[in-house]
Structure 1
Amino acid sequence: MNVSIVGLGLIGGSVAKDLRKANFATHLIGVEASEAHAEEALRINLVDEVLPLNDAVAKSDLVVIAIPVDKIRQILPQVLDQIQPGTTVTDLGSTKQLIADVVEGHPKRRNYVAAHPMSGTENSGPSAAMDGLFEGKITIICDQEKSGPQHLALVEKMFQCLGMNIAYMSADEQDHSTAYISHLPHVVAYALANAAMSKENRHIIFDLASGGFNSTVRLAKSTPSMWGPIFQDNQKYIIESLDTYIKHLKEFRESILNDEQRMYELMENATKIREVLGGANPSLIKNEEKIIKLYTK
């Protein structure tokens, strides 16, 4: 099977590594806007060749788009315009509704499967690609009823080869859920990093920084060119999640100032997150309501 991967950074490169290892693809084609990244991807054997988008699509049985969400919206209709009738297309963007909207009426809409693998790191570029990045994680497939059965089956098989469990929900539900569990943490990390760097004596702060600060602020190392478009695409639900978070921050602030008992109650309540995260079932999840509750408690 010829598989083209558009975008050879952390996500696309990691997909390429695991699909090669699983013998899912007989030939891996890369599409990469950065010449330096294209050369690096070839040097480290992420892909067998790098081609312009049109040439890659023409040779592909499966096209995997792994670029920032604003760029996905631009090229997805072009890819569907050019594919052969039997070619499958999927994207790995962190937002789904606006992407789905741009191809809603496309004559080859059923060739497209909207997906979001819930995995990643703060690193970027081909050298950031990792074996096993997706193992045991969940991928969300959206609006599966709008995809042709053979195309849906192929994308499901791809994610299973990556070692992922699969959840199904609408694009809107996906955006709502990930605003809380993925997008909000990145906003918080950027804000925390800015707060620490705003201190005049910040060099002392960073000299003292240990595991708690470093793990919390790690996401602030993520590439703005990828996360900025996500924040804009999912603005409605990210603002909702931010407003909820700010409400809880204010409640915590007030309790620290004026109500020590309430402060401890808030902390005790927060520790229940252990039960939620520790009890997440890694088996295949198809119940939309279950996964929404799991991620938004």
Structure 2
Amino acid sequence: MNVTIIGLGLIGGSIAKDLKRTGFATEIVGVDSNPEHGKQAVELGIADRYEELETAIKQTDVVVIAIPVDKIKLVLPQVLDLIPANATVTDVGSTKREIVTVVQNHPKRGNYVPSHPMSGTENSGPIAAIENLFENKICIICDQQNSRPQHLALIEKMYQSIGMSTAYMTSDEQDHNTAFVSHLPHVTAFALANAVLAKEDRSIIFDLASGGFRSTVRLAKSSPEMWGPIFNQNSDYMVEAIEEYQKHLEAFKKSIQHENTDEMMKLIKHANGIRTILDGGNQSMIKNEKTIIQLFTPKN
């Protein structure tokens, strides 16, 4: 199986490593707008060779587009124009509504399977790619009814080969859910980092910073080139998520401000309920996409 990876950073590079390791791919052809990244990917064994886009996809079986979501909107139509008639295309973007709209009337729309493998780190570039990044994680496939069965089955098989389970959602449901469980955590990490950086005596704060602070603010190291376009494409649901978060921050603020210990303890204990989902609910979520939607979509 010849697999072309467009974008040789953390996600694209990690997918490439695992597809080669598991034998799904017999050859990985890398494409990247940064020639140095392409060269580095070959040196690191992430890609077997590095090619320009048109050359790479002439005889490919599968194309995985792993670049920022604003660039996916530009590259995806080009890829569908150029691929062989039987080739399969997927993207790994964290937003989906705008991306699928761009190609909704494309003659090869059925060759395309919108997907979002839910995994990652704050690091970027080919050097950030790691094996087993996706093991026991969930991949969301969107609007599966618009993909031809053979292409859908191949992408399902691809993600299964690297240890992922599959959930199915509409593009709208995907963007709504990820606004809360993926995009909001990044916004709060960026905001927390900015709050600390705004302190005049921040050097003392950093000297005192321990595991809790470091793990909470870790996402603030994430690439602005990746996350800025995600926030823009999902702005409506991002605003909803931020407003919901602000409401709960305000509740904590008032309980602390008025020394209302009972209310404060009530809020903390209620938050402890997330343990049930994070520690015990993963398998049930994987098996039933309706459960995922119910758990991840906020209630009014």
Normalising by the residue count of structure 2, what TM-score does the alignment of the two structures yield? 0.97
Superposed, which structure 2 residues align to 1:173-212 within 5 Å? Answer: 173-212=173-212
Structure 2 residue 282 is the aligned partner of structure 1 residue 281:
yes
Aligned-residue offset at 1:59: 1.9
Do the aligned residues in 1 keep the contact of 2:285 with 2:291 (CA within 8 Å)?
no
Whether contact under 8 Å (1:6, 1:32) holds in the other structure is yes
Aligned in 2, Cα 1:67/1:3: closer, same or farther, shift over 3 Å? same
Aligned pairs for 1:3-42 (under 5 A) are 3-42=3-42
**Once the two structures are superposed, what CA deviation does each residue of 1:213-262 show, in whole Å capped at 9, x if it has no partner?**
00000000000000000000000101100000001111110011112211
Structure 2 Cα separation of the partners of residues 125 and 286 of structure 1: 33
Query: What corresponds to 1:271 in structure 2?
Result: 272
1:63–1:90 contact (8 Å) kept in structure 2? yes
Cα distance in 2 for partners of 1:218, 1:279 equals 25
Question: What is the letter of the counterpart of residue 162 of structure 2?
Answer: L
Q: Secondary structure of 1:33's partner?
A: coil
1:228 matched to which residue of 2? 228
Q: Quote the residue 1:60 is aligned against.
A: 60
**Structure 1 residues without counterparts, runs of 5 or longer:** none
What is the distance in 1 between the residues matched to 2:25 and 2:256?
A: 56
- Structure 1 moving runs of 4+ over 4 Å: none
The answer on whether the counterparts of 2:4 and 2:30 sit within 8 Å (CA) in structure 1 is yes
1:290 aligns with 2:291: yes
For the 8 Å contact 1:168–1:287, the answer to whether it is kept is no
Distance apart, 1:39 and its partner CA: 1.1
Deviation at 1:286, TM superposition (A): 6.0
Unaligned segments of structure 2, at least 5 residues: none
CA deviation string 1:41-86 (max 9, x = no partner): 0111111111111111112110000000000000101110111110
Task: Kindly indicate whether residue 241 of structure 2 is the aligned counterpart of residue 241 of structure 1.
Answer: yes
The one-letter amino acid paired with 2:276 is: E
Distance 1:52 1:182 in 2: 32
- Distance, in Å, in 1 between the alignment partners of 2:281 and 2:55 is 43
| Residue 287 of structure 1, CA deviation | 4.0
Change (3 A) 1:165 1:283: farther
The alignment status of 1:171 with 2:168, answered yes or no, reads no
2:151 corresponds in structure 1 to 151
Q: Counterparts of 1:8-157 in structure 2 under 5 Å?
A: 8-157=8-157
Q: Are the counterparts in 1 of residues 144 and 168 from structure 2 also a CA contact under 8 Å? A: yes
The answer to whether the 8 Å contact 1:136/1:282 transfers is no
| Residue 285 of structure 1: how far off its partner (Å) | 3.8
2: CA distance, partners of 1:288 / 1:29 = 33
- Superposed CA deviations along residues 135-168 of structure 1, whole A, max 9, x for unmatched, are 0000000000100000001000100011001100
The one-letter code of the counterpart of 2:256 is: I
- SS at the partner of 1:93? coil
- Report the count of equivalent residues: 297
Matched residues in 1 for 2:81 and 2:284: separation? 36
Contact 1:166–1:284 (CA<8 Å) still a contact in 2? no
RMSD of Structure 2 on Structure 1 (CA): 1.1
TM-score between the two structures when normalised by the length of structure 1: 0.98
The alpha carbon displacement at 1:209 in A equals 0.1
Partner SS, residue 255 of structure 2: helix
More deviation in 285-294 or 158-167? 285-294
Counterpart of 2:141, as a letter, is I
CA distance in 2, matches of 1:129, 1:138: 18
In structure 1, distance between residues paired with 2:129 and 2:70: 22
Report the Cα distance in structure 1 between the residues aligned to 2:59 and 2:38, rounded to whole angstroms: 18
Question: Percent identity among equivalent residues?
Answer: 59
Q: Partners in 2 of 1:253 and 1:244 — Cα distance? A: 14
- State the SS of the aligned residue for 1:64: strand
2: CA distance between counterparts of 1:128 and 1:283? 31
Work out the CA distance in 2 between the residues paired with 1:106 and 1:86: 15
What amino acid does structure 1 have at the position aligned with 2:263? R
